[in-house]
Amino acid sequence: MKRRIANVLKPLLFLGIGLLLVWWSLSGFDTSDKEQILSSIKEANYWWIVASMTFAMMSHISRAMRWQMLMACVAPKPRLINSLLAVSVSYLANLAFPRMGEITRCGIISRYEPVPPEKAFGTVITERIIDVLSLLLLTFAVVVTQYKVIGAYFSEKVGVPLMVKFSGFVSSANGLTYLFYLLAAGMVAAVLWWLLRSFRQTVVYQKIISLGKGVAEGVLSVKKVENLPLLIVHSVFIWFMYFAMVYICFFATTGTANLGPQAGLAVMVMGSFGIIATQGGIGAYQIIVAGVLVLYGVEYSLGYAFSWLVWGSQTLLVIIGGFMAMVALPLVNKNRQVFVQE
């Protein structure tokens, strides 16, 4: 019962933070600013928005193909259509519950394809590692190549706060504190060793070990990929589509039409951190993107309107695509065996 309550409260908390950020950001606009935001959204050229959504769909297909390649290393190769539908549902699940999408798509693919769920989950972890490394690399590239524009902003908003927290921890951790941490760690290690020694004799332990081996095999699937260059191409293509779907939206509004690819890359990278910060990125994405666009000479209100166009169109695509995928899954697999994983 407590777990169910926690599962409900957790997404509500993230959603609440996002809505609070939306309210807070809107409260800073006067009447003329709000009218300008609404006008910019109404007068936008939505053909560019449609093109952006098309790029997003292409990234989904590429992600499904990359995931298919990883799963083929640890199980019979699943059909691309099932991989794509599972990915589409996972995006929708992530809107409702943080990180639920990864579990959802593993459950779906294991239901309709002979892929053990623990191995599927391992391949998803590998995907996430690739994505995190890609985002960090792109962040480094943006900060270094555009330091005069965005480097100082990133340092002030992200780097300085982290350094303050770290330095505060170090300065407060004197010799006695270090000794306390060392003793506490030793006691915890001793208790864990005793518990593990007793737990090894149980059936549950054997099942956990088996599950861990399956996940590890999935994680290491990248070492067995037959066509590693193609996997890299998919990874590059996915992030290029993320860039393209942001950059193409610049042409949808007069306030951003004169911006170049550098600004598009900066918005894509920094906006990604906003997507991670709150439920579906609501609130945080808009504030971050509008703040970044100010650095490129765009009025904050116009940048704020632009952020809603990008975020709204992509969220709409996720919702429509996710529900369509849920309907399509049983129809596509109507005459196929359903796999029940023990």
Residue 259: the pLDDT is 92
Lowest mean pLDDT: which of 85-94, 119-128, 215-224, 245-254? 215-224
Name the residue among 124, 147, 132 with its Cα closest to residue 239: 132
Q: If you average pLDDT over each of 11-20, 31-40, 93-102, which comes out highest?
A: 93-102
φ and ψ at residue 12, rounded to 5 degrees: -65, -35
Q: 340 or 44: whose pLDDT is higher?
A: 44
Name the residue among 35, 87, 96, 34 with its Cα closest to residue 59: 87
Residue 23: the pLDDT is 46
Residue 167 pLDDT > 60, yes or no? Answer: no
Residue 7: the pLDDT is 44
Q: What is the CA radius of gyration of the chain?
A: 23
Scored b (16 or more CB within 10 A) or e, 90-111 reads bbbbbbebbebbbbbbbbbbbb
CA pseudo-torsion sign 94, 51, 316, 158? positive
In Å, how far are 37, 143, 146, 253, 275 from 140, measured between CA atoms? 32, 5, 10, 29, 18
pLDDT, tens digit, 9 for 90 and up, residues 227-271? 889 999 999 999 999 999 999 999 999 989 999 999 999 999 989
Lowest mean pLDDT: which of 30-34, 102-106, 313-317? 30-34
Q: CA triplet 242, 78, 336: central angle to 5 degrees? A: 125
The single-letter DSSP state of residue 11 is H
Q: How confident is the model at residue 187 (pLDDT cuts 50, 70, 90)?
A: low
Residue 157: the pLDDT is 54
Residue 40 pLDDT > 90, yes or no? Answer: no
pLDDT, tens digit, 9 for 90 and up, residues 55-73? 999 999 999 999 999 999 8
Quick check: 339 and 114 in contact, CB under 8 A?
Answer: yes
Count of beta carbons in the 10 Å neighbourhood of residue 119: 24
Per the prediction, the chain carries an average pLDDT of 77
Residue 74: the pLDDT is 85
Alpha-carbon span 101 to 275, nearest angstrom: 14
Residue 47 pLDDT > 80, yes or no? Answer: yes
Residue 15: the pLDDT is 47
Token duo for residue 184: 């506490």
Q: If you average pLDDT over each of 83-92, 115-124, 205-214, which comes out highest?
A: 83-92
How many residues does this entry show for the chain?
Answer: 342
pLDDT, tens digit, 9 for 90 and up, residues 139-151? 888 888 888 777 6
The single-letter DSSP state of residue 262 is H
Residue 190: the pLDDT is 66
Name the residue among 265, 228, 237 with its Cα closest to residue 126: 228
Quick check: 183 and 191 in contact, CB under 8 A?
Answer: no
Residue 179 pLDDT > 60, yes or no? Answer: no
Residue 18: the pLDDT is 43
The mean pLDDT value for 106-130 works out to 89
